[in-house]
Amino acid sequence: MEQSQPNNPLHGKTLEEIVVYLVSFYGWEDLGDRIRINCFRKDPSIKSSLKFLRKMPWARKEVEDLYLETINR
């Protein structure tokens, strides 16, 4: 059975959707300034960012936190 999470704004969002949204909202340069990780600063791409973020839970949390902050403005 699928559980509903009406109070979770990340429910149903993929990591790729979140990164694409943040890049379209901030751009790579500003995103790299806000979250200081190399996958956003040096030769950034969606594919390389997703690969890194899936391996590093702390970085993924920073991205998710920035996404939540951004959509709640």
Distance (Å, whole) CA 9 – CA 67: 10
Q: Specify whether domain 15-71 bears CATH 1.10.390.10.
A: no
For 10-35, the pLDDT digits (tens) are: 988 999 999 999 999 999 999 999 99
pTM for the whole structure: 0.88
For 37, which DSSP code? -
Q: Where are the alpha helices (DSSP H) in 7-71?
A: 15-34, 38-41, 46-55, 57-71
Give the pLDDT confidence score for residue 2 in this predicted structure. 55
Q: Give yes or no for residue 1 having a pLDDT over 50.
A: no
